[in-house]
Every structure is written in structure tokens, then in C-alpha cells.
């Protein structure tokens, strides 16, 4: 029964941290400042580098300090290796898993025009070989890119996306997905996510060990110390996870920028994003279909669970684009999402278009 007590104490720690984060996010100008739109591609790249380096240094430093203080020897290294191997296998075999989850099949001859566009955009983006175009058996309109060295790269569009968007906007969406492949976003996010996972699981291990450990002559390894350090690591692992979420949102901006650059028409992606917003707002079953896919939703071009929380709309698509630009999304909604809110993505594309027009 001790593991049950440990589990609920772990949940208590996470609950307290979550409450603290929510309170800070709701009232902190610092958090709002960190979540502001990048003003340029250069600033966006700098933000991604700073976040990645800081996450690695903090995570590795924490694990090293705890291991040294508690005299854990090679245990943290073994834990880190185990988590890293799990993440690596997940990435290598992810195409098989994703194809099964989404009922993916190769695009038929009726989509030859889109296959040609995928090949063109891949070539103009500098990819060595074009990704395979596939269709996901989903009514919810969306698109995603994935792949691994074992199975190659894929760009998937859902059945719903093909029915919703005009051709030129589908091409803009494909430009976004090609951007993810060019930037190796799945690899980057998965690699960075390994850090908070190691910190979190090390904390969990210490929490559980604290309940099973007996007395110790070394005060540093006493149950009370192990519990305190474990609780701190669980909390910090969760906070680092939020940092990785922010990194994921920045990669979405980066893919948006790639679409704008490779197509030369940021407005097309803005319209596509606005249509996706309208679709998820007006058809609730799309959200249910997205939520049923679980952990893989980070792959999508939009977060179908987040977009319907904005203001209702009716009118033509350019009117919606302009209305969404004026919308201020909730800080909390953004903080826990893998994707930036659509209004902020539209404003980022506006800023990018202004800079492109001035060149």
C-alpha cells in the first residue's frame, strides 16, 4: 500500500505546482512577456536556441547535482539512458504507430496535383527527397508531417482538410508541414522533451524509494531528504515540460514562416488557419475526433482542442482573418498548448509579410 500513498503524494505535488503556475500565469507580466509574439525570424531563432540550451543546462545540472549530493552513482545515468532509448524507439517506429492510429493510406491518382506540389515545395525547401503524400481517414480538417530514418518522411492531409480548403490554401498548409520536415521539428522536440522526462522520472523514483527506504546513517539519504528532493524534481520536471511546450509553439511559428517564404504568400496560410478555426468552432465532433488521438495531436497544424475557445464568427474568410488578429487569447490556454493561438499566428504572419515587402 505504500506505493499508493506515494502516488497520491506525487499527485499532490503536481497539483500544488499546477496551482502555482496557473496563479502566476494569470497575474504575471513576466509570463505574458515570455509568451509574446516573436518580432522577426532572427528573434524567433534566438528564442529557440536560448530555450533549448537553458533546458538542457538546467535539466542536466539538476540531475548531476542530485546524484552528487545523494551519492547515487550511476543510477541517474542508467535512468537517463533508459528514457533516451525509449524516446529513440518511439521516434524510429512512430510512422508505423501514426499510420495505424489515423488510418493512413497513400494518396490516390485524384491527388496527383497535390503530389506534384509536395515534390515542388520539398525541392524548393532543399529536402534531399520529397516526403510521401498520404491521406488520413479523418473528417476533422488537419495536416501533419512525420517520419524516421527507418520508414522515411510523410506529409499527411486528412479527408476533412481536402474538402474544406481551396487548392491554394492546401498548398500553403503543405508548405508549413514541409517546414517541419526541413527543420527536423519532431526530432528537436522529442530530444528536448527527454530532459524534463528524465528529471520527472528521477523525482518519482526518489519519492517511491523514500517510502520503502529504512533509516540511514547518512542524513543526506534519509527518507525525509529523499522525499523532499523527489518532490522538488517532480515539480521541476513539470515546469521544464511547460518550457518544452513553449519551444514547440516556437517551432510552429518557424513552420508558418517557412510556408510564407516558400509560397511567397503569407495571406494564403492566414486564410487556411482562419478556415480551420471556423470549422472547429462550428462542428464539435471534430474536436472529439482530435482528442481521441491523444499524444499525437502535437503533430497537427492547429490544435483542434484550443481553437473553438475563441469568439464565434460569421462572414467571409478575410473578415474572419482580420477579426481574429484583434483577438487576445488567454495566457493559460496558450501556456498548456503545443501550438500558438491562431490570432497570434496571424499577427506573426503579418509582421513577416511586412518585413518581406520591405526587402
**Annotated catalytic residue within 177, 219, 307, 354:** 177
Q: Report percent pLDDT > 90 for the chain.
A: 50
Q: Are residues 215 and 319 in the same domain?
A: no
* Residues 6 or more apart whose Cβ sits within 8 Å of residue 87: 190, 191, 193, 194, 197
Q: Are residues 148 and 44 in the same domain?
A: no
Please state, rounded to an integer, the average pLDDT across all residues of the chain: 84
What pLDDT score was predicted for residue 311?
Answer: 47
Examine the residue annotation and report whether 177 is marked as an active-site residue of this protein: yes
Residues flagged as binding site for Zn(2+):
176, 180, 252
| Grid cell 524516421 in the structure block, residue | 148
Nearest to 347 by CA among 126, 65, 37: 37
Q: Are residues 120 and 174 in the same domain?
A: yes
Residue 244 has pLDDT above 90, yes or no: yes
Q: Are residues 296 and 160 in the same domain?
A: yes
Q: What is the CATH number of the domain that holds 316?
A: 3.30.2010.10
Question: What gap in Å lies between CA 232 and CA 65, rounded to an integer?
Answer: 13
314-334 pLDDT, tens digit each: 568 999 999 999 998 888 888
Instruction: Please give the model's pTM, rounded to 2 decimal places.
Output: 0.87
Specify if 257 maps to a domain.
yes
Specify if 30 maps to a domain.
no
Most confident residue range from 172-181, 185-194, 337-346: 172-181
Specify if 33 maps to a domain.
no
What pLDDT score was predicted for residue 263?
Answer: 95
What pLDDT score was predicted for residue 310?
Answer: 45
Residues flagged as binding site:
176, 180, 252
Q: Are residues 10 and 88 in the same domain?
A: yes
| 33: DSSP letter | H
Range of the domain at 10: 2-21+38-93+186-244
pLDDT confidence of 9, banded at 50, 70, 90? low
Q: Are residues 225 and 115 in the same domain?
A: no
Residue pair 59/196 in contact (Cβ under 8 Å)? The answer is: yes
Specify if 319 maps to a domain.
yes
Question: What gap in Å lies between CA 258 and CA 103, rounded to an integer?
Answer: 28
Helices (H), 28-146: 29-34, 41-70, 75-92, 94-102, 112-124
19-31 pLDDT, tens digit each: 776 666 555 565 6
Q: What is the mean pLDDT of residues 305-309?
A: 48
Specify if 101 maps to a domain.
no
Domain boundary among the residues 216, 244, 272 is at 244
Structural domains of the chain, count: 2
Q: Are residues 288 and 270 in the same domain?
A: yes
Domain boundary among the residues 224, 244, 264 is at 244
Residue 253 in grid coordinates = 511559428
Specify if 179 maps to a domain.
yes
Amino acid at each position: 500500500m505504500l506505493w499508493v500513498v506515494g502516488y497520491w503524494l506525487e499527485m499532490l505535488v503536481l497539483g500544488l505546482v499546477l496551482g502555482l503556475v496557473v496563479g502566476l500565469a494569470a497575474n504575471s507580466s513576466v509570463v505574458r512577456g515570455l509568451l509574446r509574439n516573436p518580432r522577426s525570424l532572427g528573434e524567433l531563432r534566438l528564442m529557440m536556441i536560448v530555450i533549448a540550451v537553458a533546458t538542457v543546462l538546467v535539466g542536466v545540472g539538476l540531475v548531476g547535482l542530485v546524484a552528487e549530493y545523494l551519492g547515487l552513482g550511476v543510477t541517474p545515468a542508467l535512468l537517463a539512458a533508459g528514457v533516451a532509448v525509449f524516446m529513440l524507439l518511439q521516434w524510429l517506429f512512430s510512422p508505423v504507430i501514426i499510420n495505424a492510429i489515423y488510418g493512413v493510406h497513400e494518396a490516390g491518382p485524384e491527388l496527383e496535383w497535390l503530389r506534384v506540389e509536395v515534390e515542388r515545395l520539398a525541392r524548393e525547401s532543399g529536402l534531399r527527397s520529397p516526403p510521401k503524400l498520404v491521406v488520413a481517414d479523418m473528417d476533422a480538417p488537419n495536416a501533419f508531417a512525420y517520419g524516421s530514418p527507418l520508414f522515411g518522411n510523410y506529409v499527411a492531409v486528412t479527408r476533412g482538410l481536402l474538402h474544406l480548403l481551396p487548392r491554394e490554401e492546401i498548398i500553403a498548409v503543405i508548405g508549413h508541414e514541409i517546414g517541419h520536415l526541413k527543420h527536423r521539428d519532431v526530432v528537436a522536440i522529442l530530444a528536448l522533451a527527454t530532459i524534463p522526462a528524465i528529471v520527472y522520472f528521477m523525482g518519482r523514483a526518489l519519492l517511491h524509494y523514500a517510502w520503502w527506504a529504512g533509516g540511514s546513517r547518512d542524513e543526506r539519504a534519509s527518507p525525509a531528504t529523499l522525499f523532499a528532493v523527489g518532490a522538488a524534481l517532480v515539480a521541476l520536471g513539470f515546469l521544464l515540460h511547460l518550457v518544452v511546450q513553449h519551444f514547440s509553439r516556437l517551432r510552429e511559428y518557424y513552420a508558418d514562416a517557412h510556408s510564407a517564404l516558400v509560397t511567397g504568400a503569407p495571406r494564403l496560410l492566414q486564410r487556411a488557419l482562419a478556415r480551420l478555426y471556423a470549422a472547429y468552432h462550428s462542428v464539435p465532433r471534430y474536436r472529439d475526433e482530435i482528442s481521441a488521438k491523444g499524444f499525437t495531436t502535437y503533430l497537427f497544424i492547429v490544435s483542434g482542442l484550443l481553437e473553438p475557445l475563441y469568439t464565434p464568427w460569421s462572414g467571409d474568410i478575410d473578415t474572419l482573418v482580420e477579426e481574429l488578429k484583434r483577438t487576445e487569447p488567454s495566457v493559460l490556454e496558450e501556456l498548456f498548448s503545443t501550438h500558438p493561438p491562431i490570432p497570434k499566428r496571424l499577427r506573426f504572419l503579418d509582421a513577416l509579410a511586412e518585413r518581406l515587402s520591405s526587402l
